[in-house]
Structure 1
């Protein structure tokens, strides 16, 4: 009792001292003033940017002013965040926080005095900038967001090809095809495609080999290239040297005929090293390389002339340009007479460079009036430099035309590897925690984020694609656009890519707001502590943590931390001090426990963790009120969570959680959940799970794993809801037949049933789901016959039936699966033949794996008795092995 009284007196004294500090230095008032001024600075920057984009003349003086104002806004932001760091540190809960409140009283006084001095310095600089601003006519535009997304943007993401459209390369494509299939040449042949950036080398390569390609990025090492060819991207064994992997690759390729595509081979010595791993066994194997360097192409094959790509002529250029401006329209009639002259001028400026035509076409497609076209033409009046610089000029024009906030969204692509497929939802969450997405009353943050992606894709600055076997979305950026993106980002101190190079370190001047490290480094020589984002390693390459030791704790203002390390056995304790963190991604770790101090990260919104040995996560994680998205390791389900009463009610994503009493106590309170995956569900949870799921009106994606899943309870829980789009059930169902179609969620788009052990044909129920597009049955049905009725599965795009060991007969009636594009039949060993009705299904792709010899003989090309059923399918693949693609939430 006495100790408590003393503690109360000490706390009272501490509060008085802190209040005195505020009164003495006016810290709170100074910070509030600075926050107001920072908003004004950002408005000035947006206005200057808008003046530049609207055709205003931007001289060196204005550019210098903008640079100085940006630097000053960074400085102001640092002062505010530092003040908030000190405030948050004093608010830490528990005994440690209690002690810290008094240990740091006088340190805080010093910091507040320094903050006072810093703010006074900001005032002086701001006064100078304000005087200079009036000279340049840069007026305040007020507290507005800036340019908004155009109301005329097409509301659906454009279906872009894997790369820019094929125009003008038909002859080259025919020659390459002839070289690929030349039966008179059984030797290993290397086919080279040469040209400057943006000419369409990758496009041409992909058009000849568009499935299962091996794409090699310019920034990869030879070691990584060998891993990719072996499909061992995540391999981290120290035994994996170039020599050992070269032997593995050679032995793998020697076993059969192969086609390997190497995109953007950049040095002759790299090719000479790689050539050793491609065996020549006189079976007609081929290697295609693309390169910007003619000497590399000539070295690659002395007997075959390289395919040197030319610039497009005027007719071809106009065709490609109009395809992008008026998609899905007849290019002969799409352009009105009053725009013809503008088309001519714009096409001329591109100089026949395909990528420039595509990007400029994407820009013009957003201009709905003749005056909008005129402004683009006026802004391009000056002559461009030759070659790649001309393309970069045009790319920069499209970038400069972006609304202010969209520029930050676009520059963020520089944080990812070249050619990386980026999950769109992950990117939008990063944009959100960085504060790039303005608040819209009528839209959620994610909806507005997809609007931003849509506009970037509309302008052909990025690509947005959908997964072939599910409804997931990914985005990527052309390599030339990424070059421009990184150049702009560095100039604006938006990010810096750190290389293990002292000269490069000196050039960086430690000023960037985000630091990207993709290569192994010995030590991180980066002294500044103003970073907002740190990306260390990437999905395919974990780095040693040693370079961050002694450094991580310095970056106290970090909002985003993505670490991919090699087998680190302890949770990095320095993360504890990063109380501004909003996004924490940890992969490659082997620690067993997430400590209790994780609860100190009060601002954390996204927590993604991968650790194969994790056994315990502290309950303090669930006390973080700002949590939105939590994804835990797939093998973590030893203990169910103990969320208590203070649940993160804003939680939207909860993945890989073990079933327990929390399903009845806590799950009903998580009413904002959109994605949920639960493991080890059983019949014991049937009633509570059903009752809780009925309260989750926003749930769009659900994954359930268990030895015996109460399927009726789960499915009927969503009978009257309309949000659930994706359902995955992994385990034996407690009933051996599916519930009647009437109680199935009618909005389902994706359904995955694995090891369900159904005894009655599931197709009778599933084929009536009106919106179902993706269906996978994996060890799901034990019956001998399966029937797809006429008009059934009206929207189905992809179907996978795998390991249906007892299935003997499959009947597809006329007009069933009228939209099906992709079909996989895997290890259905007793299936006698391809269904007769498949001849009427408009398949693009058919994959047959692990089927018996008799089945395969019936579909032999031209000679098999069932060949007529599938001869219309353009892409047919068969093999005797299987890799699961079963989808999790």
Structure 2
């Protein structure tokens, strides 16, 4: 991590020297250039060191000093930039009037700055010399690797819980005689899931021993010599080669190995491959003679598996379920097989809780079971283990070391991205776009020529997924990560590393009091449900501040507005935000900002790049309370604007009369209040989503030529139909938005339900000038009375996701929609179709994977013809009260999940009777609520 910090600071120093005017740096340029020289030398010492673990206390202390001075330089640069902005020649008109006084103070400041930089340079030189004296490079290289703990090593039973089915599937693939080419089968999963265990069970199978002429097992460490690996394979299949005199030279190894394997049907297992390059090198010596030879790879990186063989299904290991985890825990604790009916009754509940702590990770269950073997088999003894288990202590050290290997293998920028997960509370639903937005604000994302910064940030998130470090819990319409989570033990690892590296300081209910914020001076701070006891707490060194308040469910008032939940914890109102002068990221969730005092409002945050105010109560004049110089993202998700004159009144408009933020790239509204931003003065905007806007402001959006996402809601007072002028304005916007891929037009739901006005004069793609690139389209509003889905040309040809609501179509749209060749997600909701019958024809919806029907109040009959929706996997039928029977779902053999919500009484009964044959092939069938007596009329 020290190298990452030094590298980032070097980049910032270079940008600073290039972008600042000569007169602003005249007194300090020499000191900055000297710092660069010292840092480059330190960087050379650190190169390639971060991928290794060190136990030398002197070296550890030296690395800590490097990180501390790197953070110090970073803070000094940001502070200097703040003062340049506030007191330099580009400052406000008010300051220009007092230029004489300003110049005197500015000169005095730069003199102090020069002295501080001189002191830092001297410290850098001392650190550099100390590193050379310690022989840092040698000490960093002489480190040991940690091998994966095999969960089966300590068990007498030859089979492993939860892996028997996997073993059978893999053996079947390996013995498939219909595939003669050499295939590569990959077993993928995070550390501790049992990849090596599974591969060993497969390797030892008697069926494979009979089928293959020779077999070889190769365990690969992160430090390897390619010639040694080739030699080990050769000696495994030709043992006599070990004693050959003279020995085989390195130059002859590949030819000799290929020659030996050509005569045999071989099985080679390569355990724990970390990078694609290694596989590409090893593959040179593994010939393909079309004789059913096979290779098995175990890896933590999905990209390695894809590169090895893109034509073979990847075998991804999942976490154990509760029953499997409980079985493994008892088995390890008692050192023998125990049937579930024989579990000790007095230990069962405590064992279930202990199993939960392991989150289905076999490695953790084996470690925890080993601890329990040394305890009495009593409830009190096991309870004490539950209270004291700590994965960072000596009992769990092995487990954490194995998981840490994945972290150490990350490149520098991904280490920073990974450690950011330490900021989020346990079981928090982490949004992919929130996360990547903060990464960009923190400047973690490498610069590059390919794609936008947002594209590269999404690739970083995807790479963490590919490396099995995070799990995608929900994908967006375009396949990217919409929400993600992290296994509890990996989260513990992130917290431990973030604390060790002084990367993030987390304050929670169980941790230190937040009043220590000023004394700790954290570079980044996360406040999770904390209460402050003192006013004016702040830290001027902090560049990221994430505050999570406690959620309280809201209610609706008489007008139908949802009164926003106010956090039970009001402590965040005591922070002195105006003194967090170096903040780049500020997020507040479930915080009542109307309680802030005038001196707390952060008017001086000129470096603020990401502002996330989610589920907050915010004053209507919030933009007059902030100073925005470099803001790129504003996120008001689910927030409410409060009328300053009446704190119980929900506001309809945010006052943006003076707000111009030329750096702005992304705006996420809440849909509950208007944002009358001067759109024509914000040409860099890429995202305008869930933003409530008055129709007269739409025309200004045509100046935002870089828009990729446009999602607007018509203001709550706009109850009249869209006139031709408003619709023409929107078409002008679309015509200028050549990059647009997402379009959403919505009316407020409470207005749509109580008015019969035809609001959207939508007539098809002739109304969507940019239709060629639109991939996601959402239309919420009544179409012209005589409009129906007449032809395929009504919709963009590349459409991937379509959502219709309140359209009131009287003619079945399916015969036309099913001809959209790229459509993978279709949502028909809230009386988008008000006919009684619907039919899906043979060959229709060739790419459809997800279909949702919600509140189609008149739908009575639905036919599915054989061959329709050939790859449909998920179907949701929700609140369709007139639908009394299922369609012929048995004809859709690809269905994996059926969710039925608020069904009619007849449909509920048919699931257990006459329609059972239609759904019994579906692996997951869920009905909600489960019991009919709890349903509401």
Please tell me the TM-score bracket, short chain as reference. Answer: 0.5 to 0.7
CA distance in 1, matches of 2:541, 2:478: 40
Matched, 1:817 2:869: yes
Alignment of 1:659-808 (within 5 A): 659-664=694-699, 666-680=700-714, 682-684=722-724, 685-706=726-747, 708-710=758-760, 712=762, 715-718=765-768, 721-734=771-784, 735-738=786-789, 740-778=791-829, 779-808=831-860
Matched, 1:593 2:620: yes
CA shift for structure 1 position 635: 0.7
Q: CA RMSD in A?
A: 4.5
Matched, 1:858 2:910: yes
CA distance in 2, matches of 1:204, 1:830: 51
Q: CA-to-partner distance for each residue in 1:476-525, whole Å, 9 max, x for gaps?
A: 22211222211221222211112576689769952320111113323368
Alignment of 1:239-278 (within 5 A): none
Kindly indicate whether the alpha-carbon contact (under 8 Å) linking 2:602 and 2:626 is maintained by their aligned counterparts in 1: no
Match of 1:413 among 396, 403, 421: 421
Kindly indicate whether the alpha-carbon contact (under 8 Å) linking 1:193 and 1:297 is maintained by their aligned counterparts in 2: no
CA distance in 1, matches of 2:496, 2:315: 28
CA distance in 1, matches of 2:803, 2:129: 64
Relative distance call for 1:621 and 1:699 in structure 2 (3 A) is farther
Kindly indicate whether the alpha-carbon contact (under 8 Å) linking 1:570 and 1:591 is maintained by their aligned counterparts in 2: no
Match of 1:124 among 117, 122, 129: 122
Match of 1:561 among 586, 594, 598: 586
Kindly indicate whether the alpha-carbon contact (under 8 Å) linking 2:656 and 2:676 is maintained by their aligned counterparts in 1: no
CA shift for structure 1 position 583: 0.9
CA distance in 1, matches of 2:490, 2:549: 20
CA distance in 1, matches of 2:109, 2:51: 43
Q: Where does residue 269 of structure 1 map in the other structure?
A: none
Kindly indicate whether the alpha-carbon contact (under 8 Å) linking 1:489 and 1:495 is maintained by their aligned counterparts in 2: yes
Say which SS state the counterpart of residue 576 (structure 1) adopts: coil
Say which SS state the counterpart of residue 710 (structure 2) adopts: strand
Matched, 1:397 2:405: yes
Q: Where does residue 444 of structure 1 map in the other structure?
A: 452
CA distance in 2, matches of 1:774, 1:67: 50
Kindly indicate whether the alpha-carbon contact (under 8 Å) linking 2:780 and 2:804 is maintained by their aligned counterparts in 1: yes
Kindly indicate whether the alpha-carbon contact (under 8 Å) linking 2:731 and 2:769 is maintained by their aligned counterparts in 1: no
Relative distance call for 1:419 and 1:686 in structure 2 (3 A) is same
Kindly indicate whether the alpha-carbon contact (under 8 Å) linking 2:59 and 2:134 is maintained by their aligned counterparts in 1: yes
Say which SS state the counterpart of residue 752 (structure 1) adopts: strand
CA distance in 1, matches of 2:360, 2:813: 47
CA distance in 2, matches of 1:855, 1:54: 58
Q: Where does residue 750 of structure 2 map in the other structure?
A: none
Alignment of 1:296-335 (within 5 A): 298=379
Relative distance call for 1:168 and 1:786 in structure 2 (3 A) is closer
Alignment of 1:599-614 (within 5 A): 600-609=627-636, 610-612=639-641, 613-614=650-651
Say which SS state the counterpart of residue 121 (structure 2) adopts: helix
CA distance in 2, matches of 1:876, 1:823: 10
Kindly indicate whether the alpha-carbon contact (under 8 Å) linking 1:599 and 1:620 is maintained by their aligned counterparts in 2: no
Match of 2:668 among 611, 627, 631: 631
CA shift for structure 1 position 411: 0.8
Kindly indicate whether the alpha-carbon contact (under 8 Å) linking 2:517 and 2:538 is maintained by their aligned counterparts in 1: no
Match of 1:531 among 537, 542, 548: 542
CA shift for structure 1 position 716: 3.6
Say which SS state the counterpart of residue 520 (structure 2) adopts: coil
Say which SS state the counterpart of residue 681 (structure 2) adopts: coil
CA distance in 1, matches of 2:911, 2:62: 71
Match of 1:656 among 675, 678, 691: 691
CA distance in 2, matches of 1:506, 1:560: 20
Say which SS state the counterpart of residue 132 (structure 1) adopts: helix
Match of 1:492 among 485, 501, 506: 501
Say which SS state the counterpart of residue 456 (structure 2) adopts: helix
Q: Where does residue 370 of structure 1 map in the other structure?
A: none
Match of 1:847 among 899, 902, 905: 899
CA distance in 1, matches of 2:473, 2:595: 37
Q: Where does residue 583 of structure 1 map in the other structure?
A: 610
Q: CA-to-partner distance for each residue in 1:564-584, whole Å, 9 max, x for gaps?
A: 244332666521111111111
Matched, 1:874 2:923: yes
Relative distance call for 1:572 and 1:526 in structure 2 (3 A) is closer
Kindly indicate whether the alpha-carbon contact (under 8 Å) linking 1:758 and 1:783 is maintained by their aligned counterparts in 2: yes
Match of 1:193 among 342, 352, 363: 352
Length-normalised TM-score, structure 1: 0.67
Kindly indicate whether the alpha-carbon contact (under 8 Å) linking 2:505 and 2:524 is maintained by their aligned counterparts in 1: yes
CA distance in 1, matches of 2:882, 2:517: 66
CA shift for structure 1 position 627: 0.6
Kindly indicate whether the alpha-carbon contact (under 8 Å) linking 1:569 and 1:589 is maintained by their aligned counterparts in 2: no
Say which SS state the counterpart of residue 690 (structure 2) adopts: strand
Alignment of 1:171-570 (within 5 A): 192-193=351-352, 195=354, 199-201=358-360, 298=379, 387-467=395-475, 473-499=482-508, 509-523=519-533, 528-538=539-549, 540=551, 542=567, 544-549=569-574, 551-569=576-594
Kindly indicate whether the alpha-carbon contact (under 8 Å) linking 2:878 and 2:903 is maintained by their aligned counterparts in 1: yes
Q: CA-to-partner distance for each residue in 1:117-142, whole Å, 9 max, x for gaps?
A: 21121122122223334435669xxx
Kindly indicate whether the alpha-carbon contact (under 8 Å) linking 1:859 and 1:867 is maintained by their aligned counterparts in 2: yes
Q: CA-to-partner distance for each residue in 1:376-432, whole Å, 9 max, x for gaps?
A: xxxxxxxx9963111112222322222122111111111111222311121111111
Kindly indicate whether the alpha-carbon contact (under 8 Å) linking 1:812 and 1:838 is maintained by their aligned counterparts in 2: no
Say which SS state the counterpart of residue 78 (structure 1) adopts: helix
Kindly indicate whether the alpha-carbon contact (under 8 Å) linking 2:477 and 2:801 is maintained by their aligned counterparts in 1: no
Say which SS state the counterpart of residue 616 (structure 1) adopts: coil
Q: Where does residue 89 of structure 1 map in the other structure?
A: 86
Kindly indicate whether the alpha-carbon contact (under 8 Å) linking 1:517 and 1:535 is maintained by their aligned counterparts in 2: yes
CA shift for structure 1 position 62: 3.3
Q: Where does residue 159 of structure 2 map in the other structure?
A: none
Length-normalised TM-score, structure 2: 0.64
CA shift for structure 1 position 40: 5.5
Say which SS state the counterpart of residue 792 (structure 1) adopts: coil
Aligned residues: 681
Relative distance call for 1:85 and 1:174 in structure 2 (3 A) is closer
Kindly indicate whether the alpha-carbon contact (under 8 Å) linking 2:514 and 2:531 is maintained by their aligned counterparts in 1: no
Q: Where does residue 169 of structure 2 map in the other structure?
A: none
CA shift for structure 1 position 695: 2.0
CA distance in 1, matches of 2:108, 2:374: 59
Flag structure 2 segments of 5+ consecutive residues without an equivalent. Answer: 1-19, 138-273, 280-300, 307-313, 332-336, 553-566, 642-649, 715-720, 748-756, 932-937
CA distance in 2, matches of 1:740, 1:160: 43
CA distance in 1, matches of 2:695, 2:548: 36
Kindly indicate whether the alpha-carbon contact (under 8 Å) linking 1:622 and 1:648 is maintained by their aligned counterparts in 2: no
Alignment of 1:141-152 (within 5 A): none
Flag structure 1 segments of 5+ consecutive residues without an equivalent. Answer: 1-21, 140-147, 207-263, 265-290, 310-354, 357-383, 883-889
